[in-house]
Every structure is written in C-alpha cells, then in structure tokens.
Structure 1
Amino acid sequence: HFFVGAEELAAKNGYELVRFFFLLTFAAAIPAIISGGIAERARFYPQLIATAIIVGFVYPFFEGITWNHHFGVQAWIKSVTGAEFHDFAGSVVVHAIGGWLALPAVILLGARRNRYRKDGAVSAHPPSNIPFLALGAWILTVGWFGFNVMSAQTIDKISGLVAVNSLMAMVGGTLAALAFGKNDP
C-alpha cells in the first residue's frame, strides 16, 4: 500500500520502490485533473496545500480501498453484488476522484473571466500556442501507454491487448473530434 517503510520499499530488488513510484504518478494525476478545471482562478498556495492533502491522504485512502482491499469495502461489495469492484488504470481511483474533487472547486470559483459575453453566449478562448498544444497531446499519448500497459502489471499476456485498446480509443476520440468538433483544436 501507499504508506510503507523503507525496508518494504527496498525489498524484492527494488520492485516495491518502482511500484511505489508508479502509484505516485497516479496520485499526482488527481491534482493535475483538478488544476485543469480551476486554471486561471485558483491561488497557488491553497492549491499547493490541497495537492499535499490529496496526494498524502485522499489518494492513499481510495487506492487502499480499491486496489489493496483495506477497510473491508471490497468484501462488502462482493457480498452484495457477487463480484469485487475492479478499477483498471485508475478510472475511479484517479479520474473520478479528481473530477469529484474538482466539481466543488469549479462551482465555488465560477467561470473564467471573459468566458461569457454580455449576452450570455460563450466566448471562445483560442489556444495560445498550437505547437505546445501538440507537444502536450503527444506527451499525454506516450504517458497513457505507460499508465495503461503498466496497469496490467505484467509484460506478457494482456499487455498487448491493453496497448492496442489504448491506441484504438485514441484514434476513436480523434475521429469523433474531427467529425463532430467545431474547428477547435
């Protein structure tokens, strides 16, 4: 689990340390999701404090329940439904928790300045730097392959299928954006 001693992290030739770092990248994704929702409206230090609380306490709590069977929640779900809750690659532990935590922050902070015109219509915000937008998309693409494939926690067996499914999801999203988007990069 997330809170362990140095002896356990150094065990198994550092495997536990690598796993700890891998899970820490998941923990860091939650504040990134939140910061995307509150960009240009939140102050730095409150966001920094919230990030420390989220990474240090909120994420380990939900990660422990979901992936390490803490507090008997998985056993209870299995007794009620007949199967345990399965979260692959952080769909709930990372993304849903990030969204749920971002929602009250977005509601409290309100819309960005100049987001709406005086008549109430949405004012478009063009991207400020297309090359950086493309670079960010590329970095995220490479990162998702690492997140998703390593979430299988095996190099053989299902890893290839996970990689292909990740690629097909990206292609599907790109095609949908091209087909239904409004010329907005």
Structure 2
Amino acid sequence: MLVNLLLYLIINVFTPQPEDVYLPIDVTDRKSIYEIALTEIGEFGLKRKARPSVPEHLHTGIDIKRPGKNYLDEPIYPIADGVVISKREDGPYAQLIVEHNINGQYFWTVYEHIAGIRVGLHQTVSTSDPIARFFNRKELDKHGWQFDHFHFEILRVAPMQIRPQANLPERLFKSYTLDCYTEERLNSLFYNPLSFFAERL
C-alpha cells in the first residue's frame, strides 16, 4: 500500500507532467518549439520605435510567420482549451483574447492581425479547432504585406476590461500591448511565449 502511494506521488506529483499546450499554427508537430518561426522584428521584448500616436515601447509578444505557402486559409489555433472573452473584427487589427485555466493556473492569450474569425464571444475553444486564419493574398494586398504574420501574446494577468464601442460591440478587453516601456513592467504582465512553450510543450 505504501509502495503504491509512493509510486503515485512520484509519477503524478514529483514528475513534471506535459501540459495541454500546443503551438498555435498548423505544423507537423504542434508540440515542438522548433516548428515556430518569427518575423525579423518579431521577438519578445524588442524595442519598437515610436510612430504617430504610438510611443516607443517594448514588444509584448511574438510575431509568428506563416508556417507554409498556404495563402488561402492557413489556420490559427488556440494554444490551450479556453473561453473567448473578447473579439475584435476591424481589418488588420482584428483580435481574439482567450482565457485559459490549466490546473488552477489562469493565463490569457491574444491573437492579433488575424482574419476569418470562426468563433463567437464566450465560446469554449479547443486546441484541435481553428479559431481564425492568417490573412489571404487579397487581404494582404489591401492592408499591407507587413501583416504576413500574426501577433501572439501570453498574459500573466487579466487583460483590461473596456467599454465596448458601437463599431466593436464584442471587444470587451484589451491587452497592455502599447503600455510596456520597461523590462520590469513587461515581465510582470507577460510571459515570453517562447519560454512559456519551452517549459510546457
């Protein structure tokens, strides 16, 4: 009896268990961090230059490249099961925010510069079902080829609740994307997605 208890504790408590976390892109192995590629300026924490109405800030996520040459319907998946808490559909800034709870640990993921959103507000999502897609060629021609990626964040803390606008009635939350000017603030609000994946895939 004692031996069985010790074995249970070793296997289930003291041995790190793989989590139900996957890459958000359609690749051969969604459990391999080596399958993910970033744009040239897509790393976490990079200093982003100021532009009109946007001050200089640190990049709060990663910009994930399209994994192949599918410019029609390249899917984007949630990295873990969760619930959609905010939905924004306005061209190049279209965005989903998903709340997750794994073994009592809450975190929130943000998917931005996306198209073809397939899920509704408050909908439960699964890692096996796409929630959106990369821009297709027509959309890239319209919005600019600088959007041939999607921006991905993992928040340590809940996103900010906001009052929805008439043109964006389902946008209930926003991230701290443009509010991080120091590394201390960045790391208090966000996980580095590549480190998060390296620990949990």
- Alignment TM class, shorter chain as reference: under 0.3
- Structure ID, larger Rg: 1
Which structure has more RCO (C-alpha within 8 Å, separation ≥ 6)? 2
* Greater share of residues in strand: 2
When normalised by structure 2's length, the TM-score is: 0.20
* Greater share of residues in helix: 1
When normalised by structure 1's length, the TM-score is: 0.21
